[in-house]
Amino acid sequence: MISKTHCDLLLILALTVVSWVSPTQKAMGDTSAPSKIAPHVYPSMGKIERNDPAFDLLIAPGAGIEKLAEGFKWSEGPVWLRKEKALLFSDVPNNVVFKWQEGAGTTEFLFPSGYTGTAARSGEPGSNGLVLDQQGRLILCQHGDRRVARLEANGKITALAEFYKFRRFNSPNDAVYRSDGSLYFTDPPYGLEKNVNDPAKELLFSGVYRLSPKGEVTLVTSELTFPNGIAFSPDEKTLYVAVSDGTKPVIMSYPVKPDGSVDKGQVFFDAKELSKSKPGAPDGLKLDKFGNLFATGPGGVLVIDPSGKLLGTINTGEPTANCGWGDDGSTLYITANHTLCRIKTLTRGQGF
């Protein structure tokens, strides 16, 4: 039997434990009891489609797609800022670059992003593909201004490439850096108000170009109807270019020569059969460190091994524009129509 004195002592001890405040809490002026903040739970979207057992080595069986933000007109060009732990991405029709950060959500980062003119215009005037140079500066493919440009620390925009043989580009779309500092970019007519039939179009083809570290522009290829996403293999011996052509939706591969030019290309992946039953066309693409392609196309993000075999699809349920690696390199951020989403992977992106 416990005496009343013992009961009182036990009660005092219990109250002391409950009301104890750590020295850290006192120093911060926080005298509330310690608590653990639960991570934010984002709504899920889409589904994962597996075509080959090797897909499970890249995307865990239980992985799902998280919807981070929505309400954009056409989201594009995601790029990760490691220092700020934030993602930048374009909303092309709205002429804005947005910034998304865990815990802070979406904020406007740059407006105007791709068209700085004063005359009203329709179509897709904003920035599209975004990439960082070797100094970590933001490079923008600007549809409306028809150029590739750099955002300086003071907020000013510096034009890097505007002309090929004294003729204005159509509307630079996507870009990738090679380790030698040269920038490769695609130039379809999507940013022109009347697309391929726009009277302001000055070039008779849609090219892929190389901008040297010295600022010289050379033509890589003019054989593609609608060149779009662009990326290098990890060893930089192969250049991949997505072609957003409804009649010939393919991903091309080009052997890269030591001087940065390319040999004759070949079809790496043909998406025509997929396009018969799923929305979308080959668009943006990125590679993981093993050379697997994560390429947006019919149905979402197609995961293709280095031999050209489709392993599976990250099906967002939306027309999907682009993707990019973030966080520690194991998170794939995806811009899909009016949404921004992500999925955790078992692999890591090229460059991480």
Separation of alpha carbons 194 and 6, rounded Å: 88
Contacts of 135 (CB under 8 A, 6+ apart): none
Report pLDDT digits (tens) over 53-67: 999 999 999 999 999
Q: Using the predicted structure, report yes or no on whether residue 332 has a pLDDT greater than 50.
A: yes
The verdict on whether omega for the bond into residue 112 sits within 30 degrees of 0, i.e. cis, is: yes
Contacts of 179 (CB under 8 A, 6+ apart): 236
Report pLDDT digits (tens) over 128-143: 999 999 999 999 999 9
Separation of alpha carbons 261 and 212, rounded Å: 11
| Coil, strand or helix at 253 | strand
Residue spans of the domains in the chain: they are: 49-344
Separation of alpha carbons 14 and 6, rounded Å: 12
Contacts of 163 (CB under 8 A, 6+ apart): 169, 217
Residue 1 has a pLDDT of: 45
More confident residue, 10 or 275: 275
CA 282 to chain centre: 14
Q: Using the predicted structure, report yes or no on whether residue 339 has a pLDDT greater than 50.
A: yes
Residue 36 has a pLDDT of: 58
Q: Which two tokens stand for residue 258?
A: 């030591």
Evaluate whether the domain defined by 49-344 bears CATH number 2.60.120.650.
no
Contact (Cβ atoms closer than 8 angstroms) between residue 172 and residue 184? no
How many C-beta atoms lie closer than 10 Å to residue 123's C-beta?
18
| Coil, strand or helix at 8 | helix
Q: Using the predicted structure, report yes or no on whether residue 15 has a pLDDT greater than 70.
A: no
Report pLDDT digits (tens) over 286-329: 999 999 999 999 999 999 999 999 999 999 999 999 999 999 99
Beta strands 310-315; 47-50: pairing state: antiparallel
Report pLDDT digits (tens) over 70-126: 999 999 999 999 999 999 999 999 999 999 999 999 999 999 999 999 999 999 999
Contacts of 80 (CB under 8 A, 6+ apart): 86, 87, 324, 325, 326, 327, 333
Q: Using the predicted structure, report yes or no on whether residue 23 has a pLDDT greater than 50.
A: no
| Coil, strand or helix at 10 | helix
Separation of alpha carbons 144 and 228, rounded Å: 16
Task: State the DSSP string of 35-61.
Answer: --PPPPPPPEESEEEESSGGGGGTS-T
Separation of alpha carbons 199 and 234, rounded Å: 40
pLDDT classification of 335: cutoffs 50, 70, 90: very high
**What's the order of all strands across the beta sheet hosting 250-255?**
227-232, 238-243, 250-255, 266-270
pLDDT classification of 39: cutoffs 50, 70, 90: confident
Contact (Cβ atoms closer than 8 angstroms) between residue 301 and residue 312? no
How many C-beta atoms lie closer than 10 Å to residue 318's C-beta?
21
Separation of alpha carbons 234 and 68, rounded Å: 29
Report pLDDT digits (tens) over 166-210: 999 999 999 999 999 999 999 999 999 999 999 999 999 999 999
Biggest CA pair distance of the chain = 100
